[in-house]
Structure 1
Amino acid sequence: MNPSPSIRPIAVKWGTILGVLSILNVIYTYFVVGVPQVGEFNIAGTVIGVLVFALAIVCYVMAVKDFRKINDGGSSFGEGFKVIMLTIIVGSIISLIFSYLMDAVIMPDYNEEMYAMTMGTMESSPGMTDSMLEIMDNMYSFIFSATGKLIVGAFGTLIGGAVFASIVALIMQRDPDLTPSVDEIGTV
């Protein structure tokens, strides 16, 4: 049995593309569309978010296709999952570093404003007790910090990424023995 080819160059290529797409999404959202305030809905930001999500799926599919090219036309579920997860990890590292810089250096006041608006909304909500507000205050003070967003983003990306990696890898798995090569297709 031949050893599996290296997935690292493929994951770095598609993960970098994924990371850059995420950065462009953040830049576009913050500086062009504008981040909606609490209670507002921003259709342009939603459309861009859905588009970036779709492009992420395309990156996962292309990473598996690139892997197939160097793996005799096939990929198992496990190989596809590994390629996609490493792609997600590379993209996440790039995106999370940029997001942390945005939150800690470039726009540190934004998180404080969002925290204050969120807590203001909670305080004015009927039925909120002081103990509930204290719990929410502790939770949101962490979530809206640059470090909190980094940690929550990393875990969320890994968990969500594992789900989508499983789905895409399952759909993209292909036995190389049952898949005709490019040379064989033209000779029938």
Structure 2
Amino acid sequence: MNEQPSSTRIALKWGLFLGLALIAITLVMYLTDQAGNGWFNLLTLVVMVAFLILAMRDYRTSTGGYMSYGEGFGIGALLSAVGGLLSAAFITFYNVVIDPTIQQRAFEQAREKLEEQGKLSDEQIDQALEFSQKFQSPGFTFIAGVFGTLIFGALLSLIIAAFIRRNKTNPFE
């Protein structure tokens, strides 16, 4: 009997790799004090796209060269959820246990940038930072990290699966 490879197993494997890559990127970003650097966001995007493509191609290869659009999307969504879970857990752990002052430094950098722009008064800057601090609890950071990565990964999966998919000519095979 011809056994169908598990899309879940492939998504979990590549999700673990994605999570480890996101942790490495975050760690380098934190250790070099580059939390506001846009290059790390671009690097994260490139890494996510690469792992989504690798996972979908891995699955397509293991099924004899075929993968439906829905299978590709499912793999990408699960992979993103696993990667987001690992990454968010690390970020929360880092912010709470390893370096609890990192958020305060980020707020100080944000204040400096806002003051340099000169568009807001000191009172408006204080209000903006006070509002954003409400969303910096460890629980909110964790949930936002998981769901943010999941949603972003699912959107990327919709696009990537359209290019990677390859349907069987006879769907009853």
Cα distance, 1:126 vs structure 2: 4.5
Residue identity in the other structure for 2:28: Y
Report matched runs for 1:96-135 at 5 Å.
96-119=88-111, 122=114, 125-128=118-121, 130=123, 132=124, 135=127
Query: For residue 33 of structure 2, what is the aligned residue in structure 1?
Result: 34
What per-residue deviation string (whole Å, max 9, x for no partner) do you get for residues 85-107 of structure 1?
11111111111111110111111
CA distance in 2, matches of 1:35, 1:127: 24
| Structure 1 unpaired stretches of 5+ | 179-188
What per-residue deviation string (whole Å, max 9, x for no partner) do you get for residues 140-173 of structure 1?
1123333332233223212211210100011111
Q: What's the Cα RMSD here?
A: 2.9
Taking structure 2 as the reference length, the TM-score comes to 0.80
Report the CA distance shift for 1:129/1:99 in structure 2 as closer, same or farther (over 3 A): closer
Cα distance, 1:119 vs structure 2: 4.4
Query: For residue 186 of structure 1, what is the aligned residue in structure 2?
Result: none
Residue identity in the other structure for 1:74: Y
Report the CA distance shift for 1:61/1:123 in structure 2 as closer, same or farther (over 3 A): closer
CA distance in 2, matches of 1:74, 1:117: 49
CA distance in 2, matches of 1:23, 1:103: 13
CA distance in 1, matches of 2:28, 2:60: 34
SS of residue paired to 2:101: helix
For residue 91 of structure 1, the aligned residue among 61, 65, 83 is 83
Report the CA distance shift for 1:4/1:81 in structure 2 as closer, same or farther (over 3 A): farther
2:157 matches 1:165: yes
Report matched runs for 1:54-93 at 5 Å.
54-93=46-85
CA distance in 2, matches of 1:170, 1:96: 28
* % identity of equivalent residues: 27
Maintained 8 Å contact 2:83/2:149 = no
Query: For residue 8 of structure 1, what is the aligned residue in structure 2?
Result: 8
**Is the radius of gyration larger for structure 1 or structure 2?**
1
Residue identity in the other structure for 1:169: A
